[in-house]
Chains A and B, each alone.
Chain A
Amino acid sequence: MGSHTITSRTPGVFYHRPSPDAEPYVTEGASVAEGDTVGLVEVMKTFHEVKADAAGTVAKFLVENEDEVTIGQDLVELET
C-alpha cells in the first residue's frame, strides 16, 4: 500500500466543508475517487475546489479547517 499527498494549487485559506453549516466533503477513513472534491481553498474572495488527484482512502488531514495555506502545501494524505 502506497501513499499520496494532495497539495494546494493556490495560496489562501483551506476549508473542509462547502459552507460553514455543511457537512465536510470527506472525513478521515473515507475512500475517494480521482476527481472527488476533498476541500476548498479561498483565494482573494474566490473559492477553488481541491480535487483528489489520485484514488485512495483519506489517511489524514494535514491542515485544519480555516488554516492559512501556501501554494504547494500538503493538504491531505491518501493511502493508495
Chain B
Amino acid sequence: MSLSSVLIANRGEIALRVVRACRELGIRSVAVYSDADAQAAHVRMADDAVHVGKSSASKSYLNEDAILEAARASGVDAVHPGYGFLSERPSFAAAVEEAGLTFVGPPSSVIATMGDKASARALARRAGVPVVPGSDEVASVEDALAAAEEVGYPVLVKASAGGGGRGIRPAASADELRTVVAEAQREAASAFGSDKVYLERALQGPKHVEVQVLADTHGGVVHCFERECSLQRRRQKILEEAPAPGLDPSVRASLCAAAVDLAREVGYVGAGTVEFLVEGSGDEGEFFFIEMNTRIQVEHPITEAVTGLDLVAEQLRVAGGAPLSVTQDDVVCRGASIEFRVNAEDPDQDFLPSPGEVTRLELPGGPGVRVDTALMAGDVVPPFYDSLVAKLAVWAPTREQALARGRRALAEYRVEGLPTTIGLHRRLLDHPAVVDGTYDITTLETWLAG
C-alpha cells in the first residue's frame, strides 16, 4: 500500500525537497500556496497546487482546516508537513488521521508526548537516557527555590509548553530566581497558554549534538549518526556539520544508542531527531537529552551526504507501510559534510529580516556541492514567513577538504537584490574555533558581539 499522492503542507525549500522525493518515487505531489506564493518555486514544480488562503501564515500554512480541505479536495492519500508550520502540532496530525489520511510522521500521540518537555524528559528517564539535571514542574517561587538547591545553580527556567528556544530565562542565584520564576510564569501563560515552568541546570560551554533516527511500523529503528549544531544565534542554528568534530568514538556510540533507545521507548515512526547537549571533551564527554524533533530537520542534507541515504524517501516509504530500506549495519558514516543556512537577513544590521526581490543569482556547483533553494532569479522573498531561503551543503572525504570546498562554494554563491547570510559564512569559516572544530553553543554569539 505504498503512497500514490501526497499533499505537501509547507512552502519554500523543504516543499521542493519533498516534491523531488515524490517524483523519484513515482508519487503525485500536490503543493499548497498562499496569495504571496502563487508564483513560488514549490508551486511551479509540484504536479498540482491548491490555494489555501491569504499571505499571512496564520491564514494559510497554519490554517489546519484549509490544509485539510485542500487534502480532501485533491484526493491525496497522505500529508507531508515538512518542518515548522503544522509539523509538530498534535491536533493537526490527529485531524489528518481522523480524515482517513496518512500523516507522514509519527502518530499524533508521539508528537504530543515529545512536544511537552516534561513528558519528554520523563520518557527519556524511562528509556535510561540521561537528561540535563532538572526539576519537575514548579508551581510557586518557594517550590522553585527548593528545587534549585537540588539542581544546582546556575539554572534555566523553562516553559513546559515552550520551544525553539522561546520561554527560557537564566538565573544565577536564589535572588535572581525569585524574580525570574514569576516573570517566566506570566510570560509562559500569555505566550503558550500554560504557566507551567520547570528548572534545568545551565551547562557550561556545551555543544549541541543531535542524532538522526529512522523508524518504521515493523519495529525497525536505526540511527544515522550525529550532527554538530552548536553554531547558533538566539538559539537558531546557522551552520551544521556531520560528523561532530572531536566527538570521542565511545561517546558517539553511547549517544547514538541512546537516541535509538528513546525512539523505541516512545514508539517512534518516520524520521526524527534527538537533540543532546554534550559537556566536556574526549572520553570525559557527558551527554544529556534536551528534546526530540518529531519531523524532518532543516539540516538533514548533511546526514544524507555522509550516509548516502535519502531521508525524505525513507519517510515516504515508511508512511506507505514499507520497512526501512536499511538495517543498522548498512548505515555507514563516510567523509564530512557542512551545511550553511542562507537566510534573507542582514548580518550588518543585527540580522534584520530582509524580504525583497532577487535581481541576480549565481549558484555554486561542481563536485560535492548541493544547493536546496527556493530562491531563484526573479523570485520575491515575501515578508510573511521564515527567513531561511536556501541551504548550501558540501561534502568531501575529510573535514579539512569539506572546509576548503565550503569556502570555494561560498565564493561562487552570488545573490543580488537583498542581503543574505552568505558573507557571514565566508567570514565564519576563518574563525579558529570553526577551523579546528572546537566551537560550542556560545561561540557564534560571542564572535558576533566582538
Contact = CB atoms under 8 A, between A and B. Distances in A.
Interface of A: 10-13, 19, 21-22, 43-46, 66, 68
Contacts of A21: 190
B6 to A, nearest CB: 26
Interface of B: 54-56, 190-191, 344-345, 352-353, 355, 383-387
Nearest to A66: B56
Contacts, number: 36
A66 B190 CA distance: 19
Given A13-B56, A68-B54, A45 B190 contact: no
By DSSP majority rule, is chain B's interface helix, strand, loop, or mixed? loop
A22 B355 CA distance: 28
B353 A44 contact: yes
Contact of B383 (A19, A43, A66): A43
A10 B54 contact: no
A49 B386 CA distance: 19
B386 A44 contact: yes
Contact of B190 (A10, A12, A13, A19): A19
A19 B55 CA distance: 19
A18 to B, nearest CB: 9
A64 to B, nearest CB: 12
B55 A45 contact: no
By DSSP majority rule, is chain A's interface helix, strand, loop, or mixed? loop
B386 A43 contact: no
Given A11-B355, A21-B190, A44-B344, A68 B386 contact: no
A43 B355 contact: yes
B190 to A, nearest CB: 6
A76 B384 CA distance: 21
B55 to A, nearest CB: 6
B383 A44 contact: yes
Contact of A68 (B55, B191, B345, B353): B55
Contacts of B355: 11, 43-44
B56 A45 contact: no
A13 B353 contact: no
Nearest to B351: A46
- Could you say which of B54, B56, B191, B386 has the most chain A C-beta atoms within 10 Å of its C-beta? B56
